[in-house]
Structure 1
Amino acid sequence: MGVTTRKQYRITALAVGMFMAVNLILLRSVILYKEKRVKYHKDHHVDKPVILIWNLPMGMENDYRVDEEECGEEIDCLLTYDQDLVNRSDAVVFHFDSASLNSMPKHRKSEQLYVWWSIEKNHKSNLKEFDNFFNLTMTYRRDSEIYAPYGSTNIILEELRNEKQFDLEELLQKKKKSRKMAAWAVSNCAVHRRMKLAKDMIAAGLDLDTFGQCFDDRDIGDEQNSESFYDTLSEYKFYLSFENGYHCKDYITENFWYNGLRSGAVPIVWGAEKKDIEAVAPKNSFIHVDDFKEVSDLVEYMIQLSVNDADYEKYLQWRKWVAIPQLAEDRFRISNGKKELHSFCKLCQVLHQQKTNAMNGEKKSMVVKSLREWWHTKENKECIFSDMLDFEMPQDGVRDFLMRIPQFRDNL
């Protein structure tokens, strides 16, 4: 073998060796990559429960978190909108506004929980087709299997603590400096009774600043729930927390929790019954329209409070709980540093408990026998009337159903 040939052989051998080494490295990388993918797949699709939101609520995809940081220790689920994961899901959640049998998954696993979810009052759907179909209800009503309110006293207190809003006197001085009386933001102009109530309050002498699509689309701050949003509303002494339904059970929305309580403007409540507000809000934290015989009496009371600092400040005493949690009412004290769970955290907790029960050989049957009966017949008649009076009549079939309800039929 000549010198040139030996050099070529060595070069070729070296090249082959390098090629094999590179491929070995690539192969190991692929293996490690696959191992990581398998581990990721296992961590996120097998080891912890999967919650699938089948249809978008109001057509919007929200970034709900269901992990230990958000929910607390040992409450961790994968929440997804990916319908391809339906067979891997432990719970499938259907929002009321687009839930129908025609749009349901083609196959249902026996151990899956089907959850009927509603963030809005809606009494125009028949719901008869869903008899013995769902396992759980998740709504703003306290008699739901999973109570999913728009807000809560403890959640607001937690937010205020996180933002270090401890100084009640600073908030009161801000209101004195601004001299602003009342604010109201509304984008649904079809609820005629609350629009008339606001107009009557203005006619009775209330100085009211209006915002929202019903009033030239005027914004409060940069966007809802932003720092500038709360900063603007905190300058007002009162906020009109008027709902789009009358006496609907537990229907207490952001109009009360965030536009009112959270911002520091005392809520003037119309819509939910006083007893429902009292069940979830601090004592002496709001003023209810139903307590006044005439609109003029309500406005007069608001004006008196606006010039009497001591009486007005009584409605904000609950905010001292931000700095001193020990002052809170017993029902709002959470022990051992635990936090109040949001709706999907509660559902995740149910799924973990279900898996624990299954491991112990325990199986509990959960079935909503008649969604229609629960949602319609257990609702206040005033709420159903308000839907009819403020909007169009219910869909075909619902009126016939309602006619069989004495509290509805007897008041026609």
Structure 2
Amino acid sequence: MGAGGRTRHRRSALTRRLRTCVLVVKTRCCRVCVTTVGLLSLLGVCLSYLQDPPLPAPQHHSAATLLIWTHPFGRSGTLPDCYALYRIPGCTLTDDLRAYPHAEAVLIHHREVATGAAELPPEPRPRAQKWIWMNYESPTHTASLWRFEGLMNLTMSYRADSDIFLPYGFLVPRVRRDRGLQNRQPQVSRLLRPHLVAWVISNWSESHARVAFYYQLRRYIRVDLFGDAGRPVPEDGAGGSVVRLLRRYLFYLALENSQHTDYITEKLWNALRAGAVPVVLGPSRQNYEQFLPPEAFIHVEDFPTVRGLARYLLMLRRNPSQLRRHLDWRRSYSVRQPEFWAEHYCTACRAVRRSRGHTGVVKNLTRWFWL
């Protein structure tokens, strides 16, 4: 299948799945009306179902060998047992380059090849072998894409239109066993936290929009700064933890280093896990709503001025009933963050098994990734 055909196939599949989610929402909600807010909330959660369901018990003859060409950022370790951890059978993972001649697919992390720390696998490649391009950096921080043009068979990234889609995080619907939970209010600890706003940052650059935003915001309210550019993240017996830190704050600045489609990183998901309300700077609000209910976050572009945003945060601290609007969605969903990089390896291997017989080449990788 050509790149154009594969793209249309992906979009068609995505459209069918989203339409299915809409049908479920409509049948379960009141027949009188379904509010726009509720619909967008559940459509965003539908993205969490885009991963394929677990396959049946593994069969030896259908197993696939996936070669990890380079460990991302040099962080090598024991390769995961995909079936034991994620119920993904039939996957043999290896980082032994001697397995290249008989590997069904090769997973290539962009950074190592782009920086010259590693070379691409040798040509000619074994017959029907797939090369998978994996990258979790934004386009702004992804150099030398030209080196991969016309060579990759599959893409894997945080982008929803990747061949293999695994985001930084997603929501999972809670199973309700007690109808009384429907009316339960958020825990008091989430409304009575000792501190207002925190920001953890290690990659400080005066050219980033997020740094300019921080300079403006701190003129109106206190922002506690942590990381390499501020105070160290407090440590305890388990080591430093951003999530534990954020449990003391009402709001967290989830500011991305650059603004691109679907580029919503662990910054936001860490805040949600900690029960803090994220204040986001990244892609558009509409893009965030593909992953989250509208009230789950506060977008900096919701306000004409930074001063207006600061006043809104102060108002929420004084009015718990208003703050609950940003927390009520937690009664319906829990937060899920994939484990780097074990789950990525296993998800890629599952995709290889499901795409046997398709060896189309990804064309215009650079243009697609920058859209």
Give, in angstroms, the shift of residue 235 of structure 1: 2.0
2:159 maps to which residue? 141
Partner of 1:231: 244
Partner of 2:7: none
1:268 alignment partner, SS class: strand
Task: State how far apart, in whole Å, the 1-side matches of 2:171 and 2:229 are.
Answer: 29
Instruction: Please state how far the C-alpha of 1:93 moved relative to its aligned partner.
Output: 1.0
Q: Residue 169 and residue 65 in structure 1: after superposition, are their counterparts in 2 closer, same or farther (change >3 A)?
A: farther
- Name the residue aligned to 1:118: 135
Deviation at 1:284, TM superposition (A): 1.0
- Return the index of the structure with the highest Cα Rg: 1
Q: Structure 1 CA distance, aligned partners of 2:230 and 2:363?
A: 44
Alignment partners' CA distance in 2, 1:370 and 1:131? 7
Distance in 2 of aligned mates of 1:318 and 1:103: 46
User: Does the C-alpha gap of structure 1 residues 225 and 280 become closer, same or farther in structure 2, counting only changes over 3 Å?
Assistant: farther
Asked whether the 8 Å contact 1:50–1:78 carries over to 2, the reply is: yes
Residue 79 of structure 1, CA deviation: 2.1
User: Secondary structure of the equivalent of 1:79?
Assistant: strand
Q: Does 1:372 align with 2:369?
A: no
Contact 2:130 2:359 in 1 (8 A): no
Q: Please name the residue that 2:348 is paired with.
A: 347
Question: Deviation per CA, 1:213-268, whole angstroms, max 9, x where unpaired?
Answer: 0114x114449997x6433311211000001002x11110010112x111110000
Is contact 2:233–2:245 with CA below 8 Å preserved after alignment? no
Identity across aligned pairs (percent)? 29
More strand by share: 2
Matches of residues 54-133 of structure 1 in structure 2 within 5 Å? 54-61=69-76, 65=80, 67-72=82-87, 75-99=89-113, 103-107=119-123, 108-123=125-140, 125-133=143-151
RMSD: 3.3
* CA shift in 2, pair 1:64/1:245, >3 Å: farther
Alignment of 1:2-401 (within 5 A): 48-61=63-76, 65=80, 67-72=82-87, 75-99=89-113, 103-107=119-123, 108-123=125-140, 125-154=143-172, 171-173=187-189, 175-176=191-192, 178-190=193-205, 191-204=207-220, 206-216=221-231, 218-222=232-236, 229-246=242-259, 248-258=260-270, 260-321=271-332, 342-355=343-356, 363-376=357-370, 378=371
Distance 1:301 1:274 in 2: 17
1:104 to 1:76, Cα distance in 2 relative to 1, 3 A: same
Q: In 1, are the aligned partners of 2:159 and 2:263 still within 8 Å (CA)? A: yes
TM-score, L = length of structure 1: 0.65
Cα deviation for residue 117 of structure 1 reads 0.6
Could you tell me which amino acid in structure 2 is paired with residue 240 of structure 1?
A: L
> 2:237 & 2:89 partners in 1: Cα distance?
32
AA aligned to 1:263 is A
Structure 1 gaps of 5+ residues are 1-42, 159-166, 333-340, 356-362, 379-412
Matches of 2:317 and 2:78, distance apart in 1: 40
- 1:284 is paired with a residue of what secondary structure? helix
CA shift, 1:64, in A, is 5.8
Structure having greater relative contact order (Cα 8 Å, sep ≥ 6)? 2
Letter in 1 for 2:68: I
Q: How many residues align?
A: 298
